[in-house]
Chain A
Amino acid sequence: MKLEEAKILISDDSILARKQLKDVISDYGTPTFIETSNGQDAIDSYKTEKPDLVFLDIVMPVKDGNAAVREIREYDSKAEIIIVSSVGTQAQLRAAIEAGAKDFIQKPLHREQIHNIIVSRFEGR
């Protein structure tokens, strides 16, 4: 799939973190971005928008990222979900993978990590 045709859901309670992630991804193409700021909204948006890739923060209000991963994966077992978190402990990593996340990125974001995720899933411009 071309990145231009993709829908990417970014869920993070920080508007800055969402912007930084969008800025990096936009260097490779212009997908449609869907943004939410808590786990429950991420689940709801997933069901209505059916995005091709999801970036989820763990520490979020209302419902945290791991709970959101579980619910999204229950709804769609093929959901491609990447956890992006400042808390990269082994326990968190394990919990995210057990919940069904495909990858785990620790903040602050490094361009190469995003690069690898994008180019392994989408064709560029």
Chain B
Amino acid sequence: MYAQFFGNFLLSRDIITREQLLSAMEKKATRRIKLGTLAMHAGYMSANEVEHIKILQTHQDRKFGELAIESGILTKEQVDELLKAQVPNFLLLGEVLVDEGIIDNYQLETLVNEYESESDLYALEYDEDPREKIETMLKQYMQAADNNINEYELLYNVLLFNNLVRFIGEDFTPIYSTVCTEYPKNFCITQKITGPFDITLYIDMPESVCIAFASRYVGEDFEQFDEYVQASIEDFANLHNGLYCVNLSNTKNVELQLMPPEIVSDPVLMFEHQAFLMPIIFPFGSVNFIFELNDKNI
């Protein structure tokens, strides 16, 4: 968790391209992390020491942990602890980038340190309310993207991130959102919320990505782009927007009306009000969320 922004952080620093990120995320989904990367993250080994053990491994056919213990760099207890530890998602991403030769271990060490201190990750990991953490990180993310959104719109995005984690999986990276005036769509559904302000959500993705998204959401292995797959995307929007209406009614005393979700038939979306495009990259492809906002001067 909280790793969703690491890919975005790397993009914003021009360390990687969007294509490299997508490719790394695909590879990350099917691999296990190396002990050296974990030890470096835990502060037990420097990048230098990891490289040293890797060189030793080219001479001796032995496990990384064994050699690190023998070299006096790690203790057996530390190795056991690392093997049992839960792997931070962003470390796996970093490791794929190292293996691809896009960055080296020295850069990874520096980048992870910078990422963690910028997002205050150490302090966040032990905090008790994940919603607050995501809110903090999203605020930073939105400010960095220079998008002026109000309190209600921020809550909308925080809930969306939580729902993606809960219902689809936490292995995603959001790309900085951009203002959007028109958009050529793939398969796209839309749902509108009206009230003191309006939010119209569009979820757009290619058919192959729909199948993977729907499979995760419903927990079934869909194989073709059929009406159940299409309904799954609408259902996700409906669930998210429904929860948003409940949250605002309970916490802000704001009553909103939800319209039924619809499949968009126009080939190009044209927006009447300010709209933001936020691509979310999963290992199975990019899911594009567009929010059209009419704040009606609230």
On A, residues with C-beta under 8 Å from B are: 13-17, 19, 59-61, 85-91, 106-108
Contact = CB atoms under 8 A, between A and B. Distances in A.
Nearest to B259: A59
Contact of A88 (B218, B234, B246): B246
Interface stretch (B6-14, B81-89, B150-158, B237-245): B237-245
Which of A13, A14, A19, A61 is the most central at the interface, judged by chain B CB atoms within 10 Å of its CB? A14
B34 to A, nearest CB: 37
Interface in B226-284: 227-228, 231-232, 234-235, 238-239, 241-243, 245-246, 249-250, 255, 258-261
A21 B234 CA distance: 16
Interface of B: 218, 227-228, 231-232, 234-235, 238-239, 241-243, 245-246, 249-250, 255, 258-261
A19 B241 CA distance: 21
Given A86-B238, A107-B239, A61 B260 contact: yes
A86 B235 CA distance: 9
Contacts of B249: 89-91
Q: Looking at chain A's contact residues, is the secondary structure mostly helix, strand, loop, or mixed?
A: loop
Contact of B241 (A60, A61, A86, A106): A86
Nearest to B234: A14
A87 B234 CA distance: 15
A59 to B, nearest CB: 5
Given A16-B218, A17-B235, A87-B242, 18 more contacts: A14-B231, A14-B234, A15-B228, A16-B228, A19-B228, A59-B242, A85-B242, A86-B241, A86-B243, A87-B246, A88-B246, A89-B245, A89-B246, A89-B249, A89-B250, A89-B255, A106-B242, A107-B239
A107 B234 contact: no
A105 to B, nearest CB: 12
Contacts, number: 54
5 contacts: A13-B261, A16-B231, A85-B242, A86-B258, A90-B250
A14 B234 CA distance: 8
A19 B243 CA distance: 21
Contacts of A15: 227-228, 231
B258 A59 contact: yes
A61 B262 CA distance: 10
Contacts of B243: 86
Nearest to A15: B231
Contacts of A85: 242
Given A14-B231, A19-B228, A108-B239, A87 B245 contact: yes
B239 A86 contact: yes
Contacts of A61: 260
> Which of A85, A87, A106 is most buried by chain B, counting CB atoms within 10 A of its CB?
A87
A61 B238 CA distance: 13
A61 B263 CA distance: 13
A85 to B, nearest CB: 7
A26 to B, nearest CB: 16
A16 B227 CA distance: 8
A108 B218 CA distance: 11
Contacts of A106: 242, 246
A90 B232 CA distance: 26
A15 B249 CA distance: 28
Given A85-B242, A86-B243, A88-B246, A16 B258 contact: no
